[in-house]
Amino acid sequence: MVCSTSRLEMLLLPVWASVLLGLLSGFLPAVGMEPMGGAKSGSDHAPKTEPLPSSPASNCSDLTVKLEFSTKVVEHEYIIAFTGYFSAKARSLYIRSALRNAADASLEWHIVPRENPASHFPSDFELVHIRQASPGSLLTLEDHPYIKRVTPQRKVFRMLKYTASPEPAAPGNATRSWQSSRPFRRTSLSLGTSFWHATGRQSSRRLLRAIPRHVAQILQADVLWQMGHTGSGVKVAVFDTGLSEKHPHFKNVKERTNWTNEKTLDDGLGHGTFVAGVIASMRECQGFAPDSELHIFRVFTNNQVSYTSWFLDAFNYAILKKIDVLNLSIGGPDFMDHPFVDKVWELTANRVIMVSAIGNDGPLYGTLNNPADQMDVIGVGGIDFEDNIARFSSRGMTTWELPGGYGRVKPDIVTYGSGVRGSGMKEGCRSLSGTSVASPVVAGAVTLLASTVQNRQLVNPASMKQALIASARRLPGVNMFEQGHGKLDLIRAYQVLNSYKPQASLSPSYIDLTESPYMWPYCSQPIYYGGMPTIVNVTILNGMGVTGRIVDKPIWQPYLPHNGDHIDVAVSYSPVLWPWAGYLAVSISVAKKAASWEGVAQGHVMVTVASPAENESESGGELTSTVKLPIKVKIVPTPPRSKRVLWDQYHNLRYPPGYFPRDNLRMKNDPLDWNGDHIHTNFRDMYQHLRSMGYFVEVLGAPITCFDASQYGESTEAPPLGPPRDGAEGAALTEVALPAVSPAGTLLMVDSEEEYFPEEITKLKRDIDNGLSLIVFSDWYNTSVMRKVKFYDENTRQWWMPDTGGANVPALNDLISVWGMAFSDGLYEGDFTLADHDMYYASGCSIARFPEDGIVIAKNLKDQGLEVLKQETAVVEGVPILGLYQTPSDGGGRIALYGDSNCIDDSHRQKDCFWMLDALLQYTSYSMTPPSLSHSHSRVTPPTGAERPLPQRLEGNHLYRYSKVLEAHLGDPKPRPLPACPHLSWAKPQPLNETAPRYA
């Protein structure tokens, strides 16, 4: 049977596009995707409509609906952003003046009319149609002093497909359970001629799916209602799918505005009505603030389409209408979409409290969506009614600062997002789940809280967030990247807000590397002398004003009775706090005198923030606030080199901004590598496993030239006695004579997309000669396949190529060629058995060249490259996939190569190979070759590389645009000059001979 779309629980749509061509959509059944008529902007080559497949289920409750989404660059249309707000006449004159100087005097262009409620107000952007615009003409536009940026106009749409419901609905609730946009199990795909062809660019923003209870009463909103607070006087905006004019649940709809090209203000999908009901319904499924002033912004069509320009106009209008609270149940991975992010900053700078869903891409870490991951936005995650973090809720950390730094704590707060009741599209109630449900729960609570404050000038995006996080209730057994500061507590937030005095605060408010599990991953590993500094990114919230500054420098004050002098602290910080926020980047290292010491050390960093006073009568015209950041760490003696693993983060790239394809080509609905490739995001399980095996994992966020290899290289350690911790199986892997070589630490390179500086290649050769060991997990790189998996944009008639393959194999080959090693451009997939373990090779390459005295393991695998390119199936016998090599220099290290990283990557891992990683580390650390590998029937003669040429870089690739290593040089990218290594300026301690205060 087929369910009516009005009854479907929808994962709601993408909102604005990214800098890349979009997620796959061409091979999935679509719902309601007929071309739009009467469009005022954009071409309307909508994808072909296919009927919904019949469901084998007997009723709709057995189904869940999954979103597939895409975006298009609209042909010939450009958003021209100005440096300020200008009238339509002035904007036209500036564009005309700029294009008059263009080299192409015959350039055809016109301003696209935008008929919406903001049309008659000054604006800071214009939508222009330029036929056959050349790069030169666009640059000419940007040269105009009043033009800030020129970006393509984008059209965004979604489609729905049926999938089997992964988990049953809760008993008694007629709801369908959530399913991630990311599959967690292997699925078979037909690799036809449309393989990875798409109709648009990678979507960056989508409305996050919105699944019974009266949530307002559960959070005790009725306590505030009884006190006479019902949201009166607060303007709340809902950016969604609209609302019908005479819906019985709402009594104070101040304004309904339509920003789409459809001639209706009504909600044809039901999501906007649900969200508005959670915030402000006055009956049945009652909302938090029934007397609030509701402003409905219809920014999506019934065909689930939006344009970037619609949102920019609507945001401008929200500023003009002096909106107080704005709910945005949308999100996506692109935190570098400048027009959108800039406008969000402008909104919050104008005191608009923005509440946004953190994303439905959990339980994978590193999946936070923008704009909820911005520091000036309240990012909301979801829990169920038993206070468990919802599986769908996206997890931290933020990936803004990678690779050199570390992410920040998000979400800010969590609340109910599973099985929540809200208003139906015409009447009655319905139940939905998702972080797009949790977001309006917080938006409604914020609206209600704002109405309780007598002096409304005290309410701003920072003070409201401060009240929410200070009052949140910590969930037991849950870390900070899952729950943020905890569960929303409405009554406690009311108490905090109504005794609030403008001040600065920190998120998190303290650093405790001993508090587990809340401070995971920091609490999972002690620090020691000689290790990479531990970096904690702390957000400064400034409730005193939209802008501020740090007075002087932060001060480090160790507590002498608590061994604070055993640690060194360096602090970098944002010179300006805007809007409402800034950062402290705290680096912590162990002092040399504690190299053999074990214990706990404590101190605090003190920082003073100043903001211009809104009331000029204030003393000095400034408000100041001093805050302390307590620091507590566990120190252990420096571990043996053989137990130290250095993770190369510097050479991992991720979306945004470039098109870096996912390593597993079977995952066609999730083609972008965007989770940061960090040991605490999509390699979290691997990290946890290494810690359980006693390894200490450090992160290198700088070039290879910037670490001291003597910390990991030659030493005189004895190998461990007895088998490793995983018992008999591990003993079988390592039951060999003790080696007569020096144990060593290991540099671990996984899924590297970046190039290498020539100096790095030279340095690594020297380090390995001196005892450092190396493990490389590679991935596919085949230029023919890369051309095949390019994205086609129907509107611009352009192909968008990947900037690299699953990994940058040509760069890796440059790195390892000195040892006579290389990976091939082959692309293989299949199941096999290795050392009695079931394994799955997912879009990996093979070893093309290896030293003749090395160990090489080969397996029979399917030629996935042939399948992708010619839709033919073939099995290749004896594909070399694993190589082990002892370098010949005296005291030299060991090298291990494996052609696929998916078995240690959480993103789409089918079968883990942690056991193999253990075996490889035993080999690289102690030269203990597992007998199951050295005596394996799969061992083959090492390949010489004569069979086929090694992979070459894709001609015309644009990796240099995003690379830290390459720069453009007359059309032929060359390495940049090697950057200076990061230099930490350690703070001069100001010791305190006093006991540390309690902070939690």
Residue from 76, 144, 249, 271 carrying the catalytic annotation: 271
Backbone phi and psi for residue 833, each to the nearest 5 degrees, phi listed first:
-120, 135
- The answer on pLDDT for 246 being more than 80 is yes
Give 345's pLDDT tier (boundaries 50, 70, 90). Answer: very high
- The answer on pLDDT for 367 being more than 80 is yes
Tokens at 1, concatenated: 């049977």
Kindly list the distances between the CA atom of residue 587 and the CA atoms of 91, 133, 568, 742, 987, in Å, as whole numbers in the listed order. 47, 47, 8, 32, 10
Structure-model confidence comparison of residues 490 and 132, the more confident one: 490
Q: DSSP letter for 944, please.
A: B
Q: How far apart are CA 158 and CA 30, in angstroms?
A: 8
- What is the pLDDT, as a whole number, of residue 294? 98
Pairing of strands 293-298, 253-258: parallel
Give 153's pLDDT tier (boundaries 50, 70, 90). Answer: confident
Residue from 25, 436, 451, 907 carrying the catalytic annotation: 436
Peptide bond into 227 cis (omega under 30): no
- What is the pLDDT, as a whole number, of residue 935? 84
Q: What is the pLDDT of residues 461-475, one digit of tens each?
A: 999 999 999 999 999
- The answer on pLDDT for 173 being more than 60 is no
Give 619's pLDDT tier (boundaries 50, 70, 90). Answer: low
- The answer on pLDDT for 187 being more than 60 is no
Give mean pLDDT, residues 751-771. 96
Helices (H) and strands (E) in the chain, counts: 19, 41
Give 652's pLDDT tier (boundaries 50, 70, 90). Answer: very high
Give every CB contact of residue 602 below 8 A, 6+ residues apart in sequence: 558, 559, 562, 563, 564, 630, 631, 632, 633, 996
Q: Which residue has the tokens 């408000």?
A: 623
Q: How far apart are CA 551 and CA 612, in angstroms?
A: 12
Are 78 and 138 in contact, with CB atoms under 8 Å apart? Answer: yes
Name which of 125, 671, 15, 611 is nearest 372 in CA terms: 15
* Rounded to 5°, angle at Cα 237 from 231 and 241: 130
Structure-model confidence comparison of residues 85 and 208, the more confident one: 85
- The answer on pLDDT for 26 being more than 90 is no
Tokens at 852, concatenated: 């003749």
Q: How far apart are CA 475 and CA 497, in angstroms?
A: 22
Give 20's pLDDT tier (boundaries 50, 70, 90). Answer: very low
- Tell the burial category of 965 from Cβ atoms under 10 Å away from its Cβ (0-12, 13-18, 19+): buried
Q: What is the pLDDT of residues 825-861, one digit of tens each?
A: 999 999 999 999 999 999 999 999 999 999 999 999 9
- What is the pLDDT, as a whole number, of residue 609? 97
Give 302's pLDDT tier (boundaries 50, 70, 90). Answer: confident
Q: How far apart are CA 423 and CA 495, in angstroms?
A: 29
- What is the pLDDT, as a whole number, of residue 208? 58
- The answer on pLDDT for 456 being more than 60 is yes
- The answer on pLDDT for 106 being more than 90 is no
Structure-model confidence comparison of residues 794 and 601, the more confident one: 601
- What is the pLDDT, as a whole number, of residue 19? 28
- The answer on pLDDT for 788 being more than 70 is yes
Cα 86 to chain centroid, rounded: 35
Q: How far apart are CA 840 and CA 819, in angstroms?
A: 28
Q: How many CA atoms lie within 13 A of 883 on its CB side?
A: 32
Q: What is the pLDDT of residues 914-925, one digit of tens each?
A: 999 999 999 999
Give mean pLDDT, residues 789-797. 52
- What is the pLDDT, as a whole number, of residue 972? 80
- What is the pLDDT, as a whole number, of residue 177? 29
Give every CB contact of residue 128 below 8 A, 6+ residues apart in sequence: 77, 78, 80, 95, 109, 110, 111, 112
- The answer on pLDDT for 585 being more than 50 is yes
Lowest-confidence range among 144-153, 677-686, 851-860? 144-153
Backbone phi and psi for residue 141, each to the nearest 5 degrees, phi listed first:
-60, -45
E-strand stretches of 48-199:
63-86, 108-111, 123-131, 147-164
- What is the pLDDT, as a whole number, of residue 205? 56
Return the axis-axis angle of helices 435-451 and 490-497, rounded to nearest 10°. 40
Q: What is the pLDDT of residues 380-397, one digit of tens each?
A: 999 999 999 999 999 999
Q: How far apart are CA 870 and CA 899, in angstroms?
A: 23
- What is the pLDDT, as a whole number, of residue 152? 83
Q: Which amino acid is at 634?
A: K
Are 755 and 975 in contact, with CB atoms under 8 Å apart? Answer: yes
Q: How far apart are CA 877 and CA 862, in angstroms?
A: 9
Give 621's pLDDT tier (boundaries 50, 70, 90). Answer: confident
Give 207's pLDDT tier (boundaries 50, 70, 90). Answer: low
- What is the pLDDT, as a whole number, of residue 791? 63
Q: How far apart are CA 259 and CA 309, in angstroms?
A: 9
Give every CB contact of residue 274 below 8 A, 6+ residues apart in sequence: 210, 422, 423, 424, 425, 430, 432, 437
Q: Please report the sign of the dihedral spanned by the C-alpha atoms of residue 661, residue 662, residue 665, residue 671.
A: negative
- The answer on pLDDT for 1000 being more than 70 is no
Q: Three-state SS for 461? A: helix
Give every CB contact of residue 387 below 8 A, 6+ residues apart in sequence: 475, 487
Give 970's pLDDT tier (boundaries 50, 70, 90). Answer: low
Backbone phi and psi for residue 355, each to the nearest 5 degrees, phi listed first:
-115, 130
Q: Tell me what the pLDDT averaged over the chain comes to.
A: 84
- What is the pLDDT, as a whole number, of residue 315? 96
Is 120 an annotated catalytic residue? no
Give 157's pLDDT tier (boundaries 50, 70, 90). Answer: low
Tokens at 781, concatenated: 């790189």
Give mean pLDDT, residues 298-323. 90
Residue from 44, 240, 677, 905 carrying the catalytic annotation: 240
- What is the pLDDT, as a whole number, of residue 486? 98
- The answer on pLDDT for 885 being more than 60 is yes
Give mean pLDDT, residues 619-630. 89
Q: What is the pLDDT of residues 436-450, one digit of tens each?
A: 999 999 999 999 999
Give mean pLDDT, residues 797-809. 81
- What is the pLDDT, as a whole number, of residue 56? 32
- What is the pLDDT, as a whole number, of residue 616? 57
Kindly list the distances between the CA atom of residue 339 and the CA atoms of 17, 151, 211, 842, in Å, as whole numbers in the listed order. 10, 8, 32, 37
Give every CB contact of residue 488 below 8 A, 6+ residues apart in sequence: 219, 413, 414, 415, 441, 442, 445, 468, 472
Pairing of strands 966-967, 974-975: antiparallel
Structure-model confidence comparison of residues 875 and 664, the more confident one: 875
Cα 509 to chain centroid, rounded: 23
Q: DSSP letter for 527, please.
A: B
Lowest-confidence range among 47-61, 318-332, 491-505, 968-982? 47-61
Give mean pLDDT, residues 276-288. 95
Beta bridge partners of 109: 130
Q: What is the pLDDT of residues 73-86, one digit of tens each?
A: 788 889 999 999 99
Lowest-confidence range among 24-33, 241-250, 253-262? 24-33
Tokens at 935, concatenated: 């005596």
- What is the pLDDT, as a whole number, of residue 132? 74
Kindly list the distances between the CA atom of residue 378 and the CA atoms of 297, 357, 656, 740, in Å, as whole numbers in the listed order. 20, 9, 22, 58
Torsion of CA 81, 655, 442, 505, to 10 degrees: -90
- What is the pLDDT, as a whole number, of residue 405? 87
- The answer on pLDDT for 49 being more than 50 is no
Q: Which residue has the tokens 């929808």?
A: 10
Is 240 an annotated catalytic residue? yes
Residues of the chain with pLDDT > 70: what percent? 81
Give mean pLDDT, residues 958-963. 91
Q: What is the pLDDT of residues 210-234, one digit of tens each?
A: 544 589 999 999 999 999 999 999 9
- The answer on pLDDT for 22 being more than 90 is no
Give mean pLDDT, residues 244-273. 94
Structure-model confidence comparison of residues 619 and 460, the more confident one: 460
Structure-model confidence comparison of residues 76 and 18, the more confident one: 76
- What is the pLDDT, as a whole number, of residue 102? 66
Structure-model confidence comparison of residues 615 and 640, the more confident one: 640
Q: What is the pLDDT of residues 696-723, one digit of tens each?
A: 999 999 999 999 998 887 543 444 433 3
- What is the pLDDT, as a whole number, of residue 191? 31
Give mean pLDDT, residues 506-519. 97
Q: Which amino acid is at 839?
A: M
Q: How far apart are CA 215 and CA 385, in angstroms?
A: 9
Is 837 an annotated catalytic residue? no
- What is the pLDDT, as a whole number, of residue 792? 52
- Tell the burial category of 345 from Cβ atoms under 10 Å away from its Cβ (0-12, 13-18, 19+): middle
Pick the most confident of 184-193, 358-367, 397-406. 358-367
Q: Give the chain's domains with CATH numbers.
A: 70-158 (3.30.70.80), 215-499 (3.40.50.200), 511-635 (2.60.40), 641-715+740-827+844-858+879-968 (3.40.50)
- What is the pLDDT, as a whole number, of residue 936? 86
Kindly list the distances between the CA atom of residue 222 and the CA atoms of 215, 218, 283, 445, in Å, as whole numbers in the listed order. 11, 9, 13, 11
Lowest-confidence range among 15-29, 131-145, 569-583, 970-984? 15-29
- Tell the burial category of 620 from Cβ atoms under 10 Å away from its Cβ (0-12, 13-18, 19+): exposed
Structure-model confidence comparison of residues 12 and 107, the more confident one: 107
The pTM assigned to this predicted structure is: 0.85
Pairing of strands 413-416, 746-750: unpaired
